[in-house]
Structure formats: structure tokens, C-alpha cells
Amino acid sequence: IIVDASGIIGTHVGDSQKIINEKIDLAIQNNTVLIIEEAYQLSKDKNYGHAALNAMMNRMVEQRKDFNVVFIVYKTEYESFISANAGILSRCTRYDFEDYTPCQLTEIFKKMCRDSKDYYTEEALCKVREYMENLYQNRDDKTGNARAVERFLSMMRKNRYFLM
């Protein structure tokens, strides 16, 4: 079950707890993992985000054998995220993933094209490789890698239709 943290943060008291408990229940019912993208957003929202984290920590204690949670957090946001709730650090294991290389980014582009039945020429692929090299060389802590490739492909599609 994949959710974005912004979809967990409620708008009124009790909303965040209800939403996160529904997501946890869904993960348990489907015997799967709950993945929270951009989880650092929960730590930045002092009211409803923290309420969601507190509810999640309670469930992680009470039902630790029933489900797993993966928090996806940028390296630069990690410290503020784990300091948002004392239980996070003791209940989680940290894994750091290296950025994709330009070659890997190009392979991701090619796979996305295959999956969506988009075609490219070798000349176009050379330009894509150059772009991926530039993207990689100028990346920051929040470049997004595969998401950046997805945005690039989307931009290419829009330009293709604009030019037709």
C-alpha cells in the first residue's frame, strides 16, 4: 500500500489518526507493506502530521507482527523526521540508497518508454543520455531520480503533441 504523507495529514482533529489507521488496516488485510512516501512531511506538520505519527507508533507497538511500514525520507530530512517521535528510531532500521547513475537513469527512461509503447530513435536516445548526465551532475538532495525521469518523459510527450 503506497501513500504520500500529504494524503495522511488530516484537516481536523482525529482525521489523521483515522486515515493512518485505515491505511494500516488495509495493509494488514492484504498482508502487505505500508509505504509512506515523503514521510518527512509528517514531522513538519506539528498538529495533524504528529498525530498520524503517534497513532502509527501505537499500532507499530500493539501489532508489530501484523504489518511493516517503510518511511521514505530524503537524507536531509532524516534527523528532523526521527526527532518528531521518540519511538521512530527504536522501531525502524535505516537503509540509504545511492542515486541512480546516468546510465541507470537512461535505462529507466527506456523501460518507461517500452512500458508505455513510446518509441525513440538512437539520435533521441543520445540526447536523453546527455540530459541524464546533466541531471545527475546537477542533482540536489531532492532530485528524485526515477521521478525526474518520469517528469522528463511527460514533458517530452507534451512537446510531441504540441508540435503535431
Residue owning grid cell 525513440: 120
Residue 164's SS3 state is coil
pLDDT at position 103: 95
Question: What is the pLDDT, as a whole number, of residue 97?
Answer: 85
* CA–CA gap between residue 88 and residue 118 (Å, rounded): 42
Question: 62-89, pLDDT tens digit by residue?
Answer: 998 998 999 999 888 899 999 988 888 8
For residue 99, count CB atoms less than 10 angstroms from its CB and return exposed for 0-12, middle for 13-18, buried for 19 or more: middle
Q: What pTM, to 2 d.p., does this model score?
A: 0.74
pLDDT in the model for residue 1: 93
What pLDDT sits at residue 164? Answer: 52
Residues of the chain with pLDDT under 70: 142, 144, 161-164
Return the pLDDT at 64: 85
> What DSSP character marks residue 40?
H
Burial of 104 (0-12, 13-18, 19+ CB in 10 A): middle
